[in-house]
Amino acid sequence: MNRIQTVCVRLCVVVALTLSFSSTGNAGDFGISFEWLKSSDCTGGYPDNEKNPVFNLSNVPNGTKIIEFVMDDRDSSYYHGGGKVEYTGQKTIESGAFTYEGPCPPDTHSYVWTATAKDADGKTIGKAKAERNFPE
């Protein structure tokens, strides 16, 4: 291999690595946080439809058009649901953007909200999770 070929191969490797890091770097940083609403005071085991908590967003992947939210109970197989929100660059998803079956465990349970960022074609381009106990 001559000197020009060696330089070309090295340049191709650098370009390939740069492209692979730039296409995935943004999605890994996506984050959410939340606090339970004051109306979430049920502890008797019978959930009600509730407005979503306020979600604070950080590092939402470029190209996001929809964010889907789903809440899972780590201590039970109960399906709480969630909702979809159109993303237009906001840093906060306000309460009332969707309804779900709120937490209402017979004792303290751990809940995880998963936010899935999707592009215009519906392709997943990032995921973020936040976890809290209820009641706290």
Q: Which domains, ranges and CATH numbers included, belong to the chain? A: 27-134 (3.90.280.10)
Q: Is it true that the peptide bond before 105 is cis, omega within 30 degrees of 0?
A: no
HSE toward the beta carbon, residue 122, CA cutoff 13 A: 0
Q: What is the largest CA-CA distance in the chain?
A: 76
Digit-coded pLDDT (tens) for 46-79: 666 889 999 999 999 999 999 999 999 999 999 9
Digit-coded pLDDT (tens) for 93-126: 999 999 999 998 889 999 999 999 999 999 999 9
Strand partners, 79: 72
Mean pLDDT of 126-130: 98
**DSSP count for the chain of H helices, then E strands:** 1, 9
Question: What is the overall mean pLDDT for the chain?
Answer: 83
pLDDT above 70 for 44 = no
Percentage of the chain exceeding pLDDT 90? 63
Helix locations, the chain, DSSP H:
3-24
Q: How far apart are the first and last CA of the chain?
A: 66
Structure tokens that stand for 65 in this block: 């058009």
- Higher pLDDT pick, 25 / 105: 105
- ∠ CA 60-62-65, rounded to 5°: 80
